[in-house]
């Protein structure tokens, strides 16, 4: 029976998929769409004026494409706004440090001796008196390369949880070597979590060259004092929205393949590769599939507020709870401009033949065969885990992505049009085949 | 006779030169010296507190090396200080622009429509009414590559003379696409000249991604308005100094090979590759030659104020006018961290066999044969031209140099230790052989 299904699928779609793959490679304008968002809207942190402009931009784009059920589904977000920021080494030398506050950092000015640690674990092994009254400097490098995402995942804890751990031991501020790659003198900002019951301290990221300067001075035996001043405003609750539009399925319009990206960006750059490229690719996929819509509905969801706590993703899962069992699968594009390297999926075991088939259709794009992986899926798909919505994922070459990720240098010129066209082609194949395959996929065994 | 000299030179020094070349490749610590200057002194624009610290640093370094006649020769400089700077597109979209005032720009705030030109010639071909009251945007890209210096030389006129040309036609400000390479979002500052009789206008450089954004909007037919605000202070006359030390010649101490670099830097970065690497290499060359000093004196001159008008270079030429005929030759290292690619020279024609010999000694380092070139010589050697002092030059691979040149990103981590060791080895060979060759070189035929 399973064997028969593979044959059927193969016989009816091989040529169609091949043509689609080539058409998207040749005709995708994801690059231009992403640059339009970056150039014309620019920075769009959740709840900001730029965010509102982005919602209007996305609605207009979807209307232009003639999608169905185009709408903005409102979600509440917390609006945090960066103010003037300054850091410098005041002793034993005077040097300006390039710095950016981490998301939702409290404001404050401190001057204190720096204590360097390589990890949260190392900090926790220190006696409290070594930390109390000092600035903790987390110096945990990540590795550059096509699969830098793995290194990011293992280094990012100092950004997300480092300040809270430092505050717990009595530190007056927390600074990190930016979680990023390359040598550009840009701090990489990012989200962080405070912990209940621990008064928060100013938390910031240093540009990599500045973190290395600090590390060199400390390695030379110097007692280094740093002054850090962060201004910021927590405006409280604001409105944002998931922007949604659909290409209605020709046979099973109530069954949905979710194709996601996030609309918000950090405030420092113009959000071209995080996540303008994902937005551009998603919109191009439905534009190019419109001539011959697949069996199921493809729903483009441009999530609000991915960067500051997934409010859009949680809002979507709540609003659409009742129809999640009709979600065939979900794919989010949120890894920048690089080529797709690997296809991975997470669903019930009987989904394997379909995923295998999709993997074979991706091979001509140089993508490694399909792999079952419970970690599959972008951040915005996390809230779909408990309902067992099957997830698919295209891991992209992120060699350059983390050079500009969450920095001022995330601008249109960083997009690589050919690589992005390959990604868009791959994502079209995945989306189309999931929308076309006869049966609903078995739900994923457990929540991610 | 010339043939005999070549043979003599070859017979007495081939092995010595070979040993020297290898010794420097293996033992040069130019990288560490340059980083020490960048890390411990940092930015050192002429006349600033950082400049004074740099002079003290250089004097201490030369004393430590045991050089002779270590001294600071005072020169007067004009001190210009950057203040707060801001630029943004205000219409048809709102986008922050990353900007830096050019050297000695006047302060001012203007908001006006932008008129884009590709060159000063194109500006001059426009009717005055197209320029009057507007902001001129010079969009003249340079090319990245090993010999980017040539492209720099042909593009830099819009930086040095663009604002004066725009002011003459009634523009209210001048902005340029940074004269630099790469895609990092850093403006590249640099020197500019005002013209007598034309009231100066604010002059600034945009980061390349921002200049490209502006160009895209204009190419799309938009009328773009920009707001530019520059603060700066012209402090007037201040003191700086050329820092000089010598390795006394063992036979002809009054004959001099000048080995130069410049001590000042721009204010935005820490001056690691402009010109920390030149300073580091020069100091390492005399350290490594000290065990067996050559026939003539090697005089290290760390020039003041190369960046803001060559005050140090002109001061040196004036102070040392009487002994310029005893300058065997001059070499300045001021092209960053890249490998030496080409050896070129400018002297009287009878110097050819010596230069040929030096070129042969450089070949094992992968350097192309010697070439007579009236453009040979760094900027600080220009004032030596009228006296006919022979000049030599090592053109370096500047593929990466112009990515960071005159930006905040000019920091220690950009130095490539192996390439810098090759350069230092090559410069040692050149310096040593010029100091060792029997005769004084024939003077260069005409002033550069």
What value of ipTM does the predicted structure carry? 0.94
Q: Please give the pLDDT value at position A10.
A: 46
φ, ψ for residue B445, nearest 5 deg: -60, -40
Tokens standing for residue A416: 């690589």
Q: Say whether B306 is catalytic.
A: yes
Tell me the pLDDT band of B381, cut-offs 50, 70 and 90. Answer: very high
φ, ψ for residue B311, nearest 5 deg: -60, -40
Which residues have C-beta within 8 Å of that of residue A90, sequence separation ≥ 6?
A: A111, A225, A226, A227
Residues of B in contact with A270 (CB under 8 A): 95
Question: How many beta carbons lie within 10 A of that of residue A276, not counting itself?
Answer: 35
Q: Please give the pLDDT value at position A309.
A: 87
pLDDT tens sequence across B415-443: 999 999 999 999 999 999 999 999 999 99
Tell me the pLDDT band of B194, cut-offs 50, 70 and 90. Answer: confident
d(CA B120, CA B164): 10
CB contact under 8 A, B39 and A95: yes
CB contact under 8 A, A184 and B270: no
Return the residue in B185, B265, B272, B407 with the most chain A beta carbons within 10 A, the one to mutate for interface testing.
B185
pLDDT tens sequence across A254-307: 999 999 999 999 999 999 999 999 999 999 999 999 999 999 999 999 999 999
β-strands B296-303, A99-101 pairing: unpaired
User: Would you say how long chain A is, in residues?
Assistant: 448
> Is residue B157 packed enough to be buried (19+ CB in 10 Å), middle (13-18) or exposed (0-12)?
middle
d(CA B334, CA A173): 40
- DSSP one-letter string for A14-37: HHHHHHHHHHHHHH--HHHHHHHH
Residues of A in contact with B216 (CB under 8 A): 35, 39, 412
Asked if B15 reaches chain A (Cβ–Cβ under 8 Å), the answer is no
d(CA B196, CA B191): 16
- Dmax (CA) of chain B: 74
Residues of A in contact with B36 (CB under 8 A): none
Of A95, A213, A408, the CB nearest to B185: A408
Asked if B212 reaches chain A (Cβ–Cβ under 8 Å), the answer is yes
A425 neighbors A365 (Cβ within 8 angstroms): yes
Question: How many beta carbons lie within 10 A of that of residue A375, not counting itself?
Answer: 10
Q: Please give the pLDDT value at position A8.
A: 46
pTM above 0.90, yes or no: yes
The average pLDDT across A236-248 equals 97
For residue A37, give the chain B residue with the closest CA: B93
For residue A414, give the chain B residue with the closest CA: B183
CB contact under 8 A, B412 and A209: yes
Return the number of CB contacts < 8 Å for A and B: 72
pLDDT tens sequence across B334-354: 999 999 999 999 999 999 999
CB contact under 8 A, A95 and B270: yes
Tell whether the model's pLDDT for residue B392 goes beyond 80.
yes
Angle between helices B417-436 and B277-289 (to 10 degrees): 50
φ, ψ for residue A21, nearest 5 deg: -55, -45
Residues of B in contact with A269 (CB under 8 A): 185
Question: Would you call B301 helix, strand, or coil by DSSP?
Answer: strand
The catalytic residue among B306, B307, B332, B436 is B306
Tell me the pLDDT band of A236, cut-offs 50, 70 and 90. Answer: confident
Q: If residue A83 lies in a helix (H) or strand (E), which one and from where to where?
A: strand A68-91
B115 neighbors B214 (Cβ within 8 angstroms): no
d(CA B132, CA B139): 18
For residue A270, give the chain B residue with the closest CA: B95
Of A96, A183, A413, the CB nearest to B183: A413
d(CA B259, CA A376): 60
pLDDT tens sequence across A194-213: 888 899 999 999 999 999 99
Looking at CA atoms only, how far is residue A378 from chain B in angstroms? Answer: 28
Asked if B98 reaches chain A (Cβ–Cβ under 8 Å), the answer is yes
Give chain B's mean pLDDT. 95
Asked if A40 reaches chain B (Cβ–Cβ under 8 Å), the answer is yes
b/e sequence B8-40, b meaning 16+ C-beta within 10 Å: ebeeebeeebeebbeebbeebbbbebbbbbbbb
Q: Which of A393, A415, A304 is nearest to A346 (CA)?
A: A393
pLDDT tens sequence across A137-169: 999 999 999 999 999 999 999 999 999 999 999
Give chain A's mean pLDDT. 95
Q: If residue B54 lies in a helix (H) or strand (E), which one and from where to where?
A: helix B49-65
For residue B408, give the chain A residue with the closest CA: A185
A394 neighbors A426 (Cβ within 8 angstroms): yes
Helix ranges (DSSP H) in B202-302: 208-219, 277-289
d(CA B116, CA B402): 23
């Amino acid at each position: 029976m399973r064997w028969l299904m593979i044959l059927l699928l193969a016989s009816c779609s091989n040529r169609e998929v091949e043509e689609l793959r080539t058409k998207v490679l040749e005709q995708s304008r994801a690059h231009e769409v992403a640059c339009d968002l970056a150039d014309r809207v620019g920075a769009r942190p959740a709840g900001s004026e730029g965010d509102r402009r982005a919602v209007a931009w996305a609605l207009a784009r979807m209307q232009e494409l003639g999608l169905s059920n185009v709408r903005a589904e409102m979600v509440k977000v917390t609006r945090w706004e960066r103010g003037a920021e300054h850091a410098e080494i005041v002793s034993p030398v005077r040097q300006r440090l390039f710095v950016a506050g981490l998301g939702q950092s409290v404001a404050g000015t401190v001057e204190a001796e720096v204590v360097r640690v390589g990890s949260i674990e190392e900090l926790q092994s220190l006696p409290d008196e070594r930390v109390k009254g000092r600035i903790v400097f987390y110096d945990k490098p990540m590795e550059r390369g096509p699969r830098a995402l793995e290194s990011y995942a293992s280094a990012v804890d100092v950004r997300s949880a480092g300040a809270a751990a430092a505050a717990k031991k009595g530190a007056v501020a927390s600074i990190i070597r930016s979680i990023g790659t390359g040598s550009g003198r840009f701090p990489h900002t990012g989200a962080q979590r405070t912990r209940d019951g621990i008064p928060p301290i100013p938390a910031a990221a240093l540009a990599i060259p500045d973190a290395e300067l600090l590390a060199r001075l400390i390695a030379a035996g110097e007692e280094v004092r740093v002054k850090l001043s962060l201004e910021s405003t927590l405006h409280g609750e604001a409105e944002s929205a998931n922007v949604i539009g659909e290409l209605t399925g020709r046979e099973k319009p109530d069954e949905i393949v979710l194709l996601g990206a996030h609309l918000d960006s950090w405030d420092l750059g113009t959000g071209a590769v995080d996540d303008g490229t994902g937005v551009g690719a998603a919109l191009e996929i439905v534009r190019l599939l419109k001539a011959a819509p697949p069996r199921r509905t493809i729903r483009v969801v441009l999530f609000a507020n991915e960067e500051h706590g997934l409010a859009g993703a949680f809002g979507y899962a709540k609003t659409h709870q009742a129809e999640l069992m009709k979600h065939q699968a979900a794919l989010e594009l949120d890894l920048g401009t690089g080529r797709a390297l690997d296809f991975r999926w997470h669903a019930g075991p009987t989904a394997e033949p379909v995923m295998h088939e999709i993997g074979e259709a991706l091979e001509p794009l140089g993508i490694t065969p399909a792999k079952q992986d419970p970690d599959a899926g972008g951040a915005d798909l996390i809230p779909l885990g408990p309902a067992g919505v099957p997830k698919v994922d295209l891991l992209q070459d992120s060699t350059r992505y983390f050079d500009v990720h969450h920095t001022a240098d995330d601008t249109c010129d960083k997009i690589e049009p050919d690589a992005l066209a390959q990604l868009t082609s791959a994502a079209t194949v995945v989306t189309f085949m999931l929308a076309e395959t006869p049966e609903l996929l078995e739900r994923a065994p457990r929540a991610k």
